[in-house]
Amino acid sequence: MNQPPLPAPSFSVITGAQVHRVISGHEGEVTRIIEDAYRLHDAGRTVNPDSYFLTFPERPSSRIIALPASVQGTVDVHGIKWISSFPENVAGGLPRASAVLILNDARTGYPFACIESSLLSAARTAASAALAASALSAQRGGRPARVGFIGTGLIARFIHTYLAGTGWAFDALGVHDLSAEHAEEFGNYLGRTENGTITIHETAEELIRSSDLVVFATVAGQPHVTDPSWFRHNPIVLHISLRDLSPEIVLASHNVTDDIEHCMKADTSLHLTEQRVGNRDFVTGTLVDVLEGRAATPPDRPAVFSPFGLGVLDLTLAKYVHDQLAGDGALHTVPDFFIELKRYG
């Protein structure tokens, strides 16, 4: 039986400006999309291989990461994100991270879109953080009113945007960064959007002790916060940068992640803890376990959310952006991108 002809593939390029237009001001909707992606992953309806790290002996602080993935359900797409992290960019006035994402058709495998992905990556990270903050605080009886940010770059700004965009309000906001200039700039940003008291803290200890919700969004390559007593008030911790906390703090906390297997690699704080104790018993569960009530994080310990960052989240949000633009007739297609479409010429 002959297969009916497949439609000729097309290819579009989606700019960062287009991504911004689709997602800006829609933090609640983006967070719902990310939650749906997590639930598909929990149900086994995704493929999320290990990320591949391209590293450079002459530039040990820099890397480029490939995140291939596939999502079933109504998303129904394959693809890959290619994201670089070059911390030295910051000193030269450029953001640390840059990224593109390729979407592939689930039926033919043909790539059909290339999307500027630094905004997508920041948005899915922030939505994941906001979702975790809401789920963990719900288990503890209410949302904290004192938040502290350690690290003040793009991800910290997006996390604040997504917290505010999903209904969070704060009486006090703390800021700490190794760069006093960056801390002051982030404090000024918060001052334009928040009514609460804003404090620039000279030390991480001061910030942590005065915050009930702590956000780590640094570029730390190894643990630099090592004293569990700083967390004696049992805050919720969004450990987005993954490598800030020592095993002693991990072992003294309820630990939630997005995918346990994925988080146990690349010298994350959870990975270092596993190497220390030889097991994973210190992991309470995944974010979906918390959402479904299968894992509890009572207020007798700090609750730490350490998400490795799943490619399926990027793909799901990228497909949403693509479909919104396609529905509006706003896709920039590239004519003749595919040229050899006949088997024998």
For residue 65, what is the domain's CATH number? 3.30.1780.10
Clarify whether residues 47 and 18 are in a common domain: yes
What average pLDDT does range 158-170 have in this prediction? 97
Examine the domain organization and report whether 113 and 168 are in the same domain: no
When the pLDDT of each residue in the chain is averaged and rounded to a whole number, the result is 96
Residue 2 lies in a domain: no
Whether 3 maps to a domain, the answer reads no
- Judge if 208 and 301 occupy the same domain: yes
17 lies in which domain range? Answer: 12-120+311-333
The answer on 155 and 24 residing in a single domain is no
- For the stretch 238-288, pLDDT in tens is 999 999 999 999 999 999 999 999 999 989 999 999 999 999 999 999 999
Whether residue 63 is predicted with pLDDT greater than 70 in this model: the reply is yes
**167-207 confidence digits (pLDDT tens):** 999 999 999 999 999 999 999 999 999 999 999 999 999 99
In the block, which residue shows the tokens 């992606």? Answer: 37
pLDDT, position 1: 54
- Percent helix, strand, coil in the chain, to 5, is 35, 25, 40
Return phi, psi of residue 91, to 5°: -65, -25
Q: Are both 63 and 167 inside the same structural domain?
A: no
CATH number at residue 286: 3.40.50.720
In a domain, 339, yes or no: no
Query: Within a domain: residue 341?
Result: no
- The residue written with tokens 């918390």 in the block is 290
Interior angle at CA 32, CA 269 and CA 106, nearest 5:
90
pLDDT at 96: 87
Looking at the fold, whether 219 and 232 belong to one and the same domain comes out as: yes
Alpha-carbon distance of 273 to 264, in angstroms, equals 9
Tell me: do 30 and 161 sit in the same domain.
Answer: no
Number of domains in the chain: 2
Residue 88 inside a domain? The answer is yes
Indicate if 94 and 148 belong to the same structural domain. no
In this prediction the pTM is 0.94
- Mean pLDDT of the region 146-156: 96
Rounded Cα distance between 218 and 199, Å, is 18
Is 5 domain-assigned?
no
- Distance from C-alpha of 252 to C-alpha of 255, rounded to nearest angstrom: 9
* Residue 91 confidence class, pLDDT cut points 50, 70, 90: confident
Please say if the pLDDT value at position 16 is more than 60. Answer: yes
Same domain assignment for residues 265 and 177: yes
Q: Average pLDDT, stretch 49-77? A: 95
Say yes or no: 97 and 147 in one domain: no
Using a pLDDT cut of 90, give the percent of the chain over it: 91
Q: Are both 174 and 302 inside the same structural domain?
A: yes
Residue 54 has pLDDT above 70, yes or no: yes
Q: How far is the C-alpha of 210 from the C-alpha of 147, rounded, in Å?
A: 8
Say yes or no: 182 and 76 in one domain: no
In this model, does residue 312 exceed pLDDT 70? yes
Rg (alpha carbons) of the chain, rounded to whole number = 21
Q: Tell me what pLDDT residue 90 has.
A: 86
Cβ 255 vs Cβ 284: under 8 Å: yes
- Residue 27 is encoded by which pair of tokens? 């933090």
Residue 140 has what pLDDT?
93
